[in-house]
Amino acid sequence: MDRESPAVLINALRFSYSKERAILDIPKLTIERGERVFVHGPSGCGKTTLLGIIAGILDPQGSQVLIHGSDLAKMRPRQRDVFRGSQIGYIFQMFNLIPYLNVLDNITLPCFVSPARRDRLGSTSPIKAAGEIASKLDIQHLLNKMISELSVGEQQRVAAARALLGAPALLIADEPTSALDGNHRDEFISLLNSVADESQATVLFVSHDLSLSRHFGRQISLPGLNVVNMISAEVSL
Amino acid sequence: MIIFKLAMKSMVSRRLVTTLTVLSIALSTTLLLIVERVRVGARASFVGAISQTDLIIGSRGGSLPLLLNSVFHIGSPATNMKYSTFKQIQADSKTAWAVPIVMGDSHRGYRVVGTSQDFFSHFQARRSQKLTFALGNVSDQTFTAVIGSNVAARLKYKVGGFLALSHGIGEVSFHSHEDRPFLITGILEPTGSPVDRSIYIPLAGTEAIHADWHDGAPPRREDAISAQDLAGRTFEVDEISAVFVGVKSKGDILNLQRQWSSFRDEPLTAVIPGVALDELWEGLGYGEEALRLVAVFVVLVGLTGMLVSVYNSLSERRREMAILRSLGATPSVIFGLLLAEAALLVGGGAAFGLLLTRVFLTVLQPMIVNQFGLYLTLDSFTSVELIYFSLILVSGVLLGAVPAWRAYRNSLSDGLVIRL
Ligand SMILES: Nc1ncnc2c1ncn2[C@@H]1O[C@H](COP(=O)(O)OP(=O)(O)OP(=O)(O)O)[C@@H](O)[C@H]1O
Ligand SMILES: [Mg+2]
């Protein structure tokens, strides 16, 4: 991993699901390490698609997408999977915890899927590391519970703990607060940011709720459907 | 190993379907294995109905009727052969032992076989298993009988009891020899062969009951000789049904067969029972194949059940797969996860089936021996069973590749957009 290069560097990205139209057309986008970026835009404008490309789930279709200096376009799909496991923590809109595993197993799962993530824990066992993160998020008393026994807010913190374990350098959250009321949203985001601060992770947070943007250092908006999106033009620093 | 742990936990979370799937595979495996045991047992019972007897010699006729009649007591005896011929066979230098048998009488549906005492020391129903007595022994007295285990059990006969023979071989006979009862002196151990359903009396006994008969007809009342009178006499045997022969050297079997088939004094047929039984079984073998085919299909149905249950779970687990991928699991991990699941289901089911087979056999074996005279071996795991187990496992995993491939494709196309 190249310490100097930005967290995300996109050059001349054109992405389309079908030949007719490009969902995304981004001449240039740079996100520095440690930045807190808020991505918003109306439904269907391509927010999740952009996250999918950055996370290496969607093929960048030949465009240059450098994450921490590594070009995703030059990787094979399985290399991108391994890369994602090691570098990226992903929080889903609906937390997407695995219902048949208990809280502890859910949180430690990334360490078993990705050896690199496990290695970053060093001599600390995944279980111990999970306990530490759980106490920061105030869910340490829930470790042996099943997911179905948790409240929505608790589930959200478990999802965050899972994404944060093993200190991935890039944290991606795709509308993780949509199920919460206003107060809890703010609370959750502050918590997330403070934990991310400790590991100096970059945060990419997607929502169409503009009121949340105040928690973030920078805001990117993806305007309407079917339009070529000029992300760089919208960047407000 | 995380793959197996995840597969395990996922299956446990769907425990009802998992249990049913494992059970259906277990039951179909059990059926296959029991069919296999029955097949092997039936063949062994059939081919092992007579062993260590190298030749059966009878009057000239088909070799099949001779075999069926002398060994299985099926059909009526053909023409008899001379007792003097038996003496010559016995005296031959290549003959190790020879035992005459006389058939033609019965007792309540069970065949009565007249024979010499040598029968009990030489005849073997199964390889290296001589006839042994559960109770009593054989006697040299004329009016004595040794009965097979089935006869004793069904008719509730005991040593010291008497039985009256009837002429002919039907269940209901037109003439019974009730005036000349035979004392039961011995009951044989079960052998899983026709011996269990037979009654053995001395050669002299078969002559004695017909002593005052003329030309196959019973005597008039005033000519009848009383049993007491008969017991004191000795009887000359003129005719017998067949001879069981053991040879001194196995290399002589074919020579002896040729020699007695072309015997000058009397037209004879000589069959090698082992070979003839094998041939006969092969001829009847399509039943066996059909049975096995049905069992194989049942296993396929069981495996298809597994396929359906795994496949069905895919749609509700797409999100789960997407989560795993978001955590860095490669599509091959997803593929492996479902393959592991199929392997666990099938492996668990087949192993449980092996166990069930053992339980069934242990519980049912005594009943099967009694009811059908069929010995099912109880050896722990036969190599055939282990082969079946591996075959089931391999085909299960191969079938499991179908949903696994589907999940793999899904995980590629779904990306991370699966949401609640
Ligand atoms: N797998 C796909 N195949 C084809 N088109 C797709 C696919 N995924 C998304 N799209 C289309 O791409 C566009 C952008 O989708 P995307 O999911 O990125 O939107 P979004 O900004 O995340 O919307 P929302 O706020 O509703 O989540 C939409 O018009 C959608 O219909
Ligand atoms: Mg979206």
B105 strand-pairing partners? B112, B167
> Is the distance from CB of B139 to CB of B201 less than 8 angstroms?
no
Residues 6+ apart with CB under 8 A from A207: A38, A39, A40, A175, A177, A178
Closest Cβ–Cβ partner in A97, A100, A110 for B328: A110
Measure B56 CA to ligand 1 centroid, in angstroms: 87
Where exactly are the structural domains of chain B?
2-46+285-414, 55-271
d(CA B254, CA B250): 9
B328, A117: Cβ pair inside 8 Å? yes
Q: Which residues have C-beta atoms less than 6 Å from ligand 1?
A: A 17, 23, 41, 43-49, 208; B 417
> Is the distance from CB of B93 to CB of B79 less than 8 angstroms?
no
CATH 3.40.50.410 assigned to domain A8-96+167-234? The reply is no
d(CA B146, CA B139): 8
Closest Cβ–Cβ partner in A48, A77, A99 for B13: A99
The per-residue pLDDT for range B244-257, each reduced to its tens digit, is 999 998 888 899 99
> Is the distance from CB of B383 to CB of B282 less than 8 angstroms?
no
B214 strand-pairing partners? B217
The per-residue pLDDT for range B312-331, each reduced to its tens digit, is 888 778 878 878 888 888 88
**Residue A96 near chain B (CB below 8 Å):** yes
Q: What per-residue confidence (pLDDT) applies to B353?
A: 92
CA distance B311 to chain A (A): 18
- B326 contacts in chain A (CB < 8 Å): 55, 57, 84, 90, 92, 96
- Tell me the residues of B at the A interface, defined by beta carbons under 8 Å apart: 2, 6, 9-10, 12-13, 319-320, 322-333, 412, 415-420
- B328 contacts in chain A (CB < 8 Å): 81-86, 88, 110, 113-114, 117
Q: What per-residue confidence (pLDDT) applies to A230?
A: 38
- Specify the DSSP element, H or E, that contains B59: strand B55-59
Bridging pattern class, strands B175-176 and B110-115: unpaired
Residue A102 has what DSSP assignment? B
CA distance A57 to chain B (A): 6
CA distance B127 to chain A (A): 57
Spell out, as residue ranges, where chain A has pLDDT lower than 70: 1-3, 223-237
The per-residue pLDDT for range B147-156, each reduced to its tens digit, is 998 899 888 8
**Residue A100 near chain B (CB below 8 Å):** yes
**Read out DSSP for B72-85?**
I--S---S-EEHHH
Work out the number of other CB atoms within 10 angstroms of the CB of residue B181. 15
Closest Cβ–Cβ partner in A81, A93, A105 for B330: A81
Closest CA to B169 of B240, B107, B115: B107
The per-residue pLDDT for range B161-219, each reduced to its tens digit, is 888 876 665 544 445 555 678 899 999 988 878 888 899 999 888 877 766 555 555 55
d(CA B347, CA B337): 15
The per-residue pLDDT for range B331-378, each reduced to its tens digit, is 888 888 889 988 999 999 999 999 998 898 888 877 776 666 666 766
